[in-house]
């Protein structure tokens, strides 16, 4: 069992050091051909953690005793020990919600995610709550790429700080991942995003799919902070899935939607797009298992929304 106290203590000790030691990431350059044996990919995901590092206090609310990043780390470690090919992804709003953010400005959250081995994340609107300067200060603690393709930071201090996409190779399967975010105007104070330019996520998603297909990606994931769906006319994960061909899976955030299983939507050409979201505050960990056969045919064989609770402490 990973001790919560030890997990956070190690991180706080690291934060007292003036700089973070660089670590070599993504040294996974597998070049072997896909064998006749099916390849199983396990995708783990979170969204809208909102600086909830500790479990919720035992104060009688519905969430009492649930959550906690040390528990999540224990669960992720166990799953990785059982599954050879695993990705751990986040869909934004890492920041804001507890005194940890007020004191450390997001640096602690990113450092804990780095220790947990996140492979990639995207930006949420609350990740701008300390402005571009605050986000810039916290970024060195994120030892994983933060992906966003529809925010243009070229006229800001965050120019070239984010990748549009990342390609992972798991057992010979190429997985392309890109990120898109919600329009900041109206939900984030102007001075917090400054000259950041918002681009239409549908147009950008089509461009990202074309790019990733040209790189021979067999599975394409969108990390979205658009929101699951709306009653008003606003671009959402449901709309994105229905308007863009070529996306296999949309992992979402922003609306704090608890889905017990992924939603299936037909793309314009009739292909199935899965959408999933696991609420907020790190109360659940999403899991989707996909199997690829020797002909690259893919099939989702298992999905789960796993509660982060005290029984994980006994693992």
User: For residue range 160-177, what is the model confidence (pLDDT) as tens digits?
Assistant: 999 999 999 999 999 999
Q: Between residues 11 and 87, which one has the greater pLDDT? A: 87
Residue 32 in domain: no
pLDDT at 63: 94
Residue 7 in domain: no
pLDDT at 153: 98
Is pLDDT at 187 greater than 50 in this prediction? yes
Confidence of residue 13 (pLDDT cuts 50, 70, 90): low
Residue 252 in domain: yes
Mean pLDDT, the chain, whole residue set: 92
Retrieve residue 215's tokens.
């790189």
Residue 6 in domain: no
Residue 110 in domain: yes
Query: How do residues 118-162 score in pLDDT, each as one tens digit?
Result: 999 999 999 999 999 999 999 999 999 999 999 999 999 999 999
CA–CA distance, 251 with 89 (Å, rounded to integer) = 9
pLDDT at 183: 98
Residue 1 in domain: no
- Predicted structure pTM score: 0.90
Query: How do residues 268-285 score in pLDDT, each as one tens digit?
Result: 999 999 999 999 999 999
Report how many domains make up the chain: 1
Residue 158 in domain: yes
Residue 263's φ and ψ, nearest 5 degrees, are -90, 140
CA–CA distance, 273 with 209 (Å, rounded to integer) = 13
Confidence of residue 186 (pLDDT cuts 50, 70, 90): very high
Confidence of residue 29 (pLDDT cuts 50, 70, 90): very low
Which CATH number is 81's domain given?
3.60.21.10
pLDDT at 10: 61
CA–CA distance, 288 with 305 (Å, rounded to integer) = 9
Residue 14 in domain: no
Which residue from 267, 127, 128 is spatially nearest to 205, judged by alpha carbons?
267
Which residue from 174, 179, 213 is spatially nearest to 199, judged by alpha carbons?
179
CA–CA distance, 223 with 88 (Å, rounded to integer) = 12
Which residue from 206, 216, 204, 306 is spatially nearest to 261, judged by alpha carbons?
306
Domain range for 255: 41-314
pLDDT at 33: 46
């Amino acid at each position: 069992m990973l001790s919560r106290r030890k997990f956070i203590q190690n991180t706080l000790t690291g934060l007292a050091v003036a700089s973070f030691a660089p670590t070599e990431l993504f040294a996974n350059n597998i070049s072997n051909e896909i064998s006749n044996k099916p390849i199983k990919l396990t995708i783990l995901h979170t969204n809208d953690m909102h600086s909830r590092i500790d479990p919720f206090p035992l104060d009688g609310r519905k969430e009492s005793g649930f959550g906690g990043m040390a528990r999540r780390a224990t669960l992720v470690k166990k799953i990785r020990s059982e599954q050879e090919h695993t990705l751990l992804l986040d869909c934004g709003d890492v920041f804001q919600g507890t005194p940890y953010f007020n004191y450390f400005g997001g640096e602690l959250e990113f450092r804990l995610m780095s220790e947990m081995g996140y492979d990639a994340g995207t930006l949420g609107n609350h990740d701008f709550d300390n402005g571009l300067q605050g986000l810039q200060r916290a970024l060195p603690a994120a030892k994983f790429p933060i992906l966003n393709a529809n925010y243009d930071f070229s006229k800001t201090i965050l120019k070239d700080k984010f990748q549009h996409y990342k390609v992972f190779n798991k057992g010979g399967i190429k997985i392309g991942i890109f990120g898109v975010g919600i329009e900041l105007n109206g939900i984030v104070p102007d001075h917090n995003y400054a000259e950041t330019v918002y681009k239409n996520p549908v147009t950008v998603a089509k461009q990202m799919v074309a790019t990733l297909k040209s790189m021979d990606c067999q599975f394409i994931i969108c990390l979205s902070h658009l929101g699951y769906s709306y009653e008003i006319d606003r671009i959402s994960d449901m709309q994105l899935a229905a308007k863009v061909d070529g996306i296999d899976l949309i992992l979402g955030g922003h609306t704090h939607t608890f889905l017990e299983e992924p939603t299936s939507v037909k793309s314009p050409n009739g292909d199935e797009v899965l959408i999933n979201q696991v609420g907020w505050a790190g109360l659940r960990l999403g899991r989707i298992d996909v199997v690829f056969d020797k002909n690259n045919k893919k099939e989702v064989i298992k999905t789960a929304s796993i509660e982060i609770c005290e029984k994980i402490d006994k693992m």
